[in-house]
Amino acid sequence: MTKEDPSDRTGGDRTYDRRSVLSGAGSIAIGGLIGSSGVASATPGREPGPKTDEIIVGLSSSVSDVVYEAHTCSPDGCEVAHANETIRYATVSIPADASERTRERIFESIRRSPAVEYAESNVTVQSLLEPNDPQYENQRAPRQVNCEQAWETTRGSEDVVIAVVDQGVQYDHPALEGVVDDRIGQDFVDNDGDPYPGRDEFHGTHVAGIATGGTNDGTGHAGISDCSLLAVRALNRTGQGALSDVADAIQWSADAGADIINLSLGVQGSFETLRSACQYAADRGVLLVAAAGNQGVNRVFSPASEETVVGVSALEPDDSLASFSNTGPEIDIAAPGSQVFSTVNGGDYARLSGTSMASPVVSGVAGLALSAHPDLSPTELRQHLLETAADVGLDEMEQGAGRVDAAAAVGTDPSGDTGNSDDSGNQDGDTDQDEGNPTGQCGNETVTASADGSLDGSSWWGQSDRYGYQLHTTNPCSATVALEGPADGDFELYLTTDGRSPSRWDHDQASTNSASNESINLTLDGDEVLGLQVHAERGAGQYSLRLEERGR
**What are the residues whose beta carbons fall under 8 Å from the beta carbon of 218, sequence distance 6 or more?**
none
Measured CA to CA, the distance from residue 14 to residue 16 in angstroms comes to 6
Instruction: Phi first, then psi: give them for residue 368, nearest 5 degrees.
Output: -65, -45
Measured CA to CA, the distance from residue 508 to residue 497 in angstroms comes to 7
Measured CA to CA, the distance from residue 196 to residue 17 in angstroms comes to 13
**CA of residue 384 relative to chain centroid, distance:** 16
Strands (E), 180-281: 180-187, 228-233, 240-242, 260-263, 265-266
Measured CA to CA, the distance from residue 95 to residue 376 in angstroms comes to 49
Measured CA to CA, the distance from residue 544 to residue 548 in angstroms comes to 13
Note whether 260 and 370 are within 8 A (CB): yes
Residue 8 pairs in a beta bridge with none
Q: Is 399 helix (H, G, I), strand (E, B) or coil?
A: helix
| Nearest partner of 450 among 344, 547, 516, judged by Cα | 547
| Nearest partner of 208 among 22, 361, 333, judged by Cα | 361
- Interior angle at CA 51, CA 60 and CA 211, nearest 5: 90
Measured CA to CA, the distance from residue 302 to residue 267 in angstroms comes to 5
**What are the residues whose beta carbons fall under 8 Å from the beta carbon of 8, sequence distance 6 or more?**
none
Counting every residue written for the chain, the total comes to 552
Measured CA to CA, the distance from residue 515 to residue 103 in angstroms comes to 36
> Is the bond leading into 131 cis (omega within 30 degrees of zero)?
no
**What are the residues whose beta carbons fall under 8 Å from the beta carbon of 318, sequence distance 6 or more?**
none
Catalytic residue positions, numbered: 166, 203, 356
Note whether 514 and 549 are within 8 A (CB): no
Measured CA to CA, the distance from residue 119 to residue 80 in angstroms comes to 13
